[in-house]
Structure 1
Amino acid sequence: MSVTVTNLAQGPGTLYTGVFGTAEPADSAVNTTPAASGWTDRGGTDGGIKLVMTQTFSELKVDQIVDSPGRRLVKRDFNIQTNLAEVTLENLALAMNGGTAASGSGFKTLTPQTASSATQPNYIASLLDAWGPNQKRRRVIARKVLNISNVESAYQKDAQTFIPVDFAAHYVSESVAPFYIQDEVAA
């Protein structure tokens, strides 16, 4: 078996977020920073940024054969997970899926949302810039996400504090996929 070493990738990614519906950078701009186009860089992360796709299949069965004749996809979850290393109130509000930030002379505050359970959640979009094959950029856009992890930060004597996030992608429409992946290729 031959190995194409240029298809190997290593290195950190950068996580950006925007409001749900933020204009996505053009495919031809995969090698440019998206911050100028309405995306906010969420700063340092710890432990990498992980893409997780979980697919659930329903098995087809018949009495006449012992082998499974097939399966059908019945559920797909797509998540972007990381630990935000910059424990700002803005990143905390992001992890809480919203809140009201305010500042004054020498202070900042964050008040969580106090909506009823029937209120529509505050969906956002997330964008991951990372490395792909041939030392070129890979961009992963999740168009409609919510943080579904617990919001927790440990303040310890001998360990750094983080804000863990797990952005779960959600259905957008019949014509718009919940996530999109772009690779930069040699021109």
Structure 2
Amino acid sequence: MTTNVVTPANLVQGPADVYAGGFGATEPADSAVATAPGAGWTGVGGTQGGVTAEIDNTYDQLTVDQLVDPVGARLTKRQIQVTLKLAEATLENLNLVLNNLLTMGSGTGYATADLQTTTSATQPTYAALLIDGWAPALATGAAARRRIIVRKVLSQAKVQFSYQMQNNNVYDCTLTAFYVSQSISPIHIVDQTA
């Protein structure tokens, strides 16, 4: 009997840091995977309940009348989504969740946000997400980082302003990735190896 050998260093657990940038923001070099991203990326602060990046592939089967078994399949759809709850209820995070549909203002001692009224023909403002989480440990046993860059996203959110004694207000959102170009993948994943 063959047993499956478990490599404990490959187990991954822990929170991620999330940064937002505009679609097309300059991405940090892959070699900088263990450092915070630079200009063009803003941290969204604390999250609640974790951050989930999901790639959902749909394969449609190829069948023929002469065989009972499918003869193959083709990838016909892919959906990439990031779900998270932003625990820091800032106006900047609200603007991210609403796809930059707020007109932001400020004065001495206050800040404002007004929801823009657009038409269905208005092109949305896409964002980019950078998720810095944990990767399998290095050969030395030291912790390693994994960076996931989702290059073109829009948020689908139902924003609530909830004021309760026992729970903090969070912005609960799902961000869906979109096609970038034939030569640029919608998602880029980098693991630290040294």
**Alignment TM-score > 0.5, same fold:** yes
Aligned-partner Cα distance in 2 for 1:126–1:41: 10
TM-score, normalisation: structure 2: 0.92
Q: 1:85 aligns with which of 87, 110, 115?
A: 87
**Would you say the 8 A contact 1:57–1:73 is kept in 2?**
yes
Q: 2:22 aligns with which of 19, 27, 36?
A: 19
Aligned partner letter, 1:2:
V
Segments of structure 2 that go 5 or more residues without pairing to the other structure are: 138-142
Match of 2:43 in 1: 41
Match of 1:126 in 2: 129
Aligned partner letter, 1:84:
L
Aligned partner letter, 1:165:
C
Match of 2:11 in 1: 8
Match of 2:168 in 1: 160
TM-score, normalisation: structure 1: 0.95
Match of 1:74 in 2: 76
1:153 CA drift (Å)? 3.7
1:155 CA drift (Å)? 2.4
Q: For residue 171 of structure 1, give the secondary structure of its aligned residue in structure 2.
A: coil
**Would you say the 8 A contact 1:93–1:112 is kept in 2?**
no
**Would you say the 8 A contact 1:14–1:41 is kept in 2?**
yes
Number of residue-to-residue matches in the alignment: 185
RMSD value over aligned CA atoms?
1.1
1:70 CA drift (Å)? 1.3
1:116 CA drift (Å)? 1.1
Aligned partner letter, 2:118:
A
Percentage of pairs with the same residue: 48
Segments of structure 1 that go 5 or more residues without pairing to the other structure are: none
Aligned partner letter, 2:61:
E
